[in-house]
Chains A and B, each alone.
Chain A
Amino acid sequence: MIKKTVANVREACEGIEDGMTFMLGGFGLCGIPENIISELVRKNIQNVTCISNNAGVDDFGLGLLLKKHQIKKMISSYVGENAEFERQMLSGEMEVELVPQGTLAQRCEAARSGIPAFFTPAGYGTEVAEGKEIREFNGKMYVMEEAFKADFSFVKAWKGDEAGNLIFKGTARNFNPAMCGAGKITVAEVEELVPAGELDPNQIHIPGIFVQRIFQGEKFEKRIEQLTVRKRN
């Protein structure tokens, strides 16, 4: 067994530097690496490029980095719930690349899988396709999209073991699996870290080969963005 455990979030984030590119898992505030984000804020890392489906909200998730102007460029598919994001984008303080959601996921997975580029129908005929190679396959038009390059992938899983194997829960899975192994170093924070042998190999979502560092997060707030409930009769 090749051990991937590190003691804490500080050790997990060793080697991060200003100007790097990070991938961060999560959809909205669901399944985001909260402990790592707190550490990025604490270390005051500057001029980073973040690849993440969303940019958090004003006072949580990546919104915390935004507020401190730590982000030079965001690569996302949807940034609707963050007023500060919209302000920094429209004022030109921050560079933004908007990418169709499926393309975003596939550019991560391609990076992990050694595929430099792929063709997708998403965005054909729109400004997303501008400057990109277009090809026709079986009478339909496709846009060439390239794999991402990132220095670190930061992901959040439900359970993990010493070997770096990961299991996700519910829709907190989202972008996390595709980002594992897509950056040069993948760091996973988990709610529960167990010894090797305790997780059933049949149930592993991401094998440990894609994870370089794993630690149990100190605290998970798991904030709900839109609480919607129905009344009991």
Chain B
Amino acid sequence: MALTKEQIAQRIAKEVKDRYYVNLGIGIPTLVANFVRDDINVEFQSENGILGMGPFPFEGEEDPDLINAGKQTITALPGASFFDSAMSFGMIRGQHVDLTILGAMEVAQNGDIANWKIPGKMVKGMGGAMDLVASAENIIVAMMHTNRAGESKLLKECSLPLTGVQCVKKIVTNLAVLEIKDGKFHLLERAPGVTVEEIQKATEGDLIVDGAIAEMKF
């Protein structure tokens, strides 16, 4: 069975290590916070100016002056700090943030990513994504393996305007965990019950399958 969005987030949460500062993008990445183990210490950064982001507030305790990058009301945990946008992106470009998790419309086998624009149709803007992907050493893309039309999102080359070049190293989809190495997708794990053939079929780019591929564990 292909993973749900929650399960994609749950699998990615395993990549979050003790003492990591983590930036979570909008969508599936936001859900990752719900699945991080309780016995490790992690701080979430939101690029609009908070480190130490906590869960949503209780009803009636929401503060219009306290939101995340998705403009949702949030809380600040003990040890949190606020800062301005210039300093926030200083943290990001200066590589002080250990892990960036974001969504994508397309990823190419050389690590290129596209997630901000469909010419003539959808133009929302890149927000902080270009700064994040150009700077972070450790980027995980969370996305569905195919788009709504059933077409592969893991391509030889991106067809949409790029957000960043040669920057993605790991991808977790509803079908698989993949790594990008030497200009190719390498299959690391499959979703429970999903076959290598199914993954191959849903992947337009070159896919390297080395030996037996284990099922994901949660």
Contacts and interface: CB of A to CB of B under 8 A. Distances in A.
Interface stretch (A10-18, A37-45, A225-233): A225-233
A227 B73 contact: yes
B66 to A, nearest CB: 4
Contact of A102 (B64, B92, B120): B92
Contact of B65 (A177, A222, A227): A222
A204 B203 CA distance: 54
A192 interface: no
B57 A230 contact: yes
Interface of B: 46-50, 55-74, 76, 82-86, 88-89, 92-93, 112, 120, 123-131, 134-135, 161-166
A101 B166 CA distance: 20
B131 A100 contact: yes
A170 B63 contact: yes
22 contacts: A29-B71, A76-B125, A80-B125, A101-B47, A102-B85, A102-B88, A105-B88, A105-B89, A120-B93, A122-B130, A123-B130, A125-B164, A125-B165, A127-B162, A170-B66, A224-B64, A226-B71, A227-B72, A228-B72, A229-B56, A229-B57, A230-B57
Nearest to B50: A171
Contact of B128 (A30, A102, A120): A102
A89 interface: yes
A120 B131 contact: yes
Contacts of B164: 124-126
B58 A229 contact: yes
Contacts of B92: 102
Contacts of A171: 46, 48-50, 65-68, 82
Given A228-B72, A229-B73, A178 B126 contact: no
A227 B82 contact: no
Interface string A192-233: 000000000000010000000000000000111111111110
B67 A101 contact: no
A104 B83 CA distance: 16
Contact of A78 (B72, B125, B131): B125
B9 to A, nearest CB: 16
Given A124-B134, A126-B162, A178-B85, 5 more contacts: A102-B131, A171-B48, A174-B84, A228-B74, A229-B73
Contact of A109 (B86, B134, B161): B86
